[in-house]
Amino acid sequence: MNKPLNIKYQARQKARSPSDIISQVHDLHEKGSTKKAITLTKRYAKKYHSNPQILVALAALCVSYEQNNYATTLLSKVLAKDPKNVRGLYNRGLLYLKEGNLKQAEKIFSKAVILDPYYTSAIQNLLYIFVQTENVQAIIDWFKNNDKVFLHF
């Protein structure tokens, strides 16, 4: 017989690593306890407010359960402290993309790619935006200027 999940108890537990925290929240969501996952996400975000790695990962989980506003809040905190946080930028770009704001998504993905020229997911999303906006010249220019990166694909 499974005991009901006690959110306060889970939030008090010492998580050993960011991946433990993310796994714990993800498992709740996968078991159909999305409300409990959201509650635990907010508790962990408060507890680990100065850990950008955890906040970015929690924001990504928030997107998966349609908590886009909270994800934006978490990413804004991360990027306010570290505007060069590539994973934070990438996830913020995904939110803009999800909202249909291609112009802002392009701007954010471009920043991420400048900071990490081999960030494949950011590159793919940037090229996707160029295709969606039928910006053929941007695609041609990107491949001309990034021939070394292209060899990594």
Among 110, 54, 64, 68, CA closest to 86: 110
pTM value is 0.77
Q: What is the pLDDT of residues 30-51, one digit of tens each?
A: 888 878 888 888 888 898 888 8
Could you tell me which residue, 136 or 132, shows the higher pLDDT?
132
Annotate 44-112 with DSSP letters as a single string. Answer: HHHHTTT-HHHHHHHHHHHHHTT-HHHHHHHHHHHHHH-TT-HHHHHHHHHHHHHHT-HHHHHHHHHHH
Per-residue confidence at 128, pLDDT binned at 50, 70, 90?
A: very high
Phi, psi (5° rounding) for residue 151? Answer: -65, -20
Banded pLDDT at 140 (limits 50, 70, 90): confident
The pLDDT of residue 148 is above 90: no
State yes or no: pLDDT of 1 exceeds 50: no
pLDDT at 12 over 70: no
Q: Looking at the predicted structure, is the pLDDT value of residue 136 above 70?
A: yes
Under 8 Å CB-to-CB from 72, ≥6 apart: which residues?
A: 59, 92, 95
pLDDT, tens digit (0-9, with 9 covering 90-100), for 51-97: 899 899 899 888 888 889 999 999 999 999 999 999 999 999 999 99
* Mean pLDDT confidence for 13-18: 60
Mean pLDDT in the chain?
83
| Of residues 147 and 77, more confidently modeled | 77
Exposure class string for 1-22: b at 16+ Cβ within 10 A, else e: eeeeeebeebbeeebeebeebb
